Amino acid sequence: MNSSSAAAKLAPYAYSPTNSLGREYPEQDHPFRTVFERDRDRVVHSTAFRRLVNKTQVFPSPTNDHHRTRMTHTLEVAQISRVVARQLGLEEDLTESIALAHDLGHPPFGHAGEDELREFMKEHGGFEHNLHALRIVTELEYRYPGFPGLNLTWEVREAFAHHSKSNDKMLDRYKSVGMPFLEAQVADEIDSLAYTSHDVEDALSAGLITETDIMDIQIWRQTYNDIIRQYPSIPSGTRVPTIVRKMIDTQVTDLIFQSRENFKNERIDSVEAVRRSKNLLIGMSTKMRELRKELESFLHRQVYKNTRVQRMAQKGRRIIRRLFQEFLACPLLLPTRYREKLNILSPHRVICDYLAGMTDRFARMEYGRMFNPNDDV
């Protein structure tokens, strides 16, 4: 099996597949894929992963075919995370598995959909997308005859738990092992890095902001000046993606060098040392964190709270709200597979699981079938 040759290339603080804590349901090793390679492949082939292509990142998919969806964001996070893992000597397949799975639990309409489901579920066990992702990979996917879910390794499941803000007892056993291992820290850090940079590009494309608006933001201004010096006649259509690409490269480079410095300062020489550490070890320099924080604040003011974005978000919330209310009033409207779950789960949980699994497109279609009198059932 190739796991031993792969492990030989790893840094001593990387999480070797030979040291995995295993799966909930024991399985035989694959003849040529490590356990983390199999995790990655199972995520990619899952129903929940395919649905990400029609789930909102910031802008609902019908607004523009070029704006990012949960799927494209996920692929970008996975690509950058793998680059960082390779430079730091970490386990690339584990890092990629976590990155590819990190948004599986998002409902339709982005954070607006999550807010609406959280409101309905606040007296019924709550809703939080990371916890829901863990339920997807342990319970809700149904692709294999020998077990529910995807039967991923402990390590990928643990990453969901550390990323979650929920206090659900389901997470306790995963959080009791100490600080997250480095591969999970990489995927978490790159998630934030990727969406802040790419949301700028999408916001400019959508006309929510202009380059003049963002020129006051230091990391943008510095990168803009660097690009203009290098390419004085760069066309406007190429300028923005070039700036965004350079901005990401600058942050990633800073993160790699700062993380190496953190390993040195904390004397990190094993996974156990990572677990014992009192601080996260994957991160940017203080200066770069300040630059990114300024960019994030700008996005919250100028993009996420923009009237057009909020209008779209409210439409999404209204769809989720009306569907939830209608299914509560008449659970027989649920598909057969979900009606059968009413024998073991509360109506609120069953309806929440059904709605959270929808894509934006399907939720709109279901809304039309439910409330449009001219829609053919």
Tell me what pLDDT residue 3 has. 46
| pLDDT tens sequence across 102-118 | 999 999 999 999 999 99
User: pLDDT tier at 88 (50, 70, 90 boundaries)?
Assistant: very high
User: pLDDT tier at 61 (50, 70, 90 boundaries)?
Assistant: low
Work out the average pLDDT over 192-212: 92
Tell me what pLDDT residue 42 has. 97
Of 3-17, 75-89, 175-189, 224-238, where does mean pLDDT reach its minimum? 3-17
Neighbouring residues of 181: CB distance < 8 A, sequence distance ≥ 6: 15, 155, 158, 271, 274, 275
Tell me what pLDDT residue 294 has. 97
Domain range annotation of the chain: 3-308, 315-371
User: pLDDT tier at 1 (50, 70, 90 boundaries)?
Assistant: very low
Work out the average pLDDT over 30-59: 94
Tell me what pLDDT residue 377 has. 58
Predicted confidence (pLDDT) at residue 2 exceeds the cutoff of 50: no
Work out the average pLDDT over 18-28: 94
Tell me what pLDDT residue 60 has. 65
- Mean pLDDT (the chain, rounded): 93
Of 46-60, 69-83, 121-135, where does mean pLDDT reach its minimum? 46-60
What is the CATH code for 3-308? 1.10.3210.10
User: pLDDT tier at 163 (50, 70, 90 boundaries)?
Assistant: confident
Predicted confidence (pLDDT) at residue 290 exceeds the cutoff of 80: yes
Predicted confidence (pLDDT) at residue 87 exceeds the cutoff of 70: yes
User: pLDDT tier at 165 (50, 70, 90 boundaries)?
Assistant: confident
User: pLDDT tier at 62 (50, 70, 90 boundaries)?
Assistant: low
Indicate the pTM of the whole model: 0.93
Work out the average pLDDT over 264-280: 96
Predicted confidence (pLDDT) at residue 375 exceeds the cutoff of 80: no
| pLDDT tens sequence across 331-356 | 999 999 999 999 999 999 999 999 99
User: pLDDT tier at 46 (50, 70, 90 boundaries)?
Assistant: very high
Predicted confidence (pLDDT) at residue 362 exceeds the cutoff of 70: yes
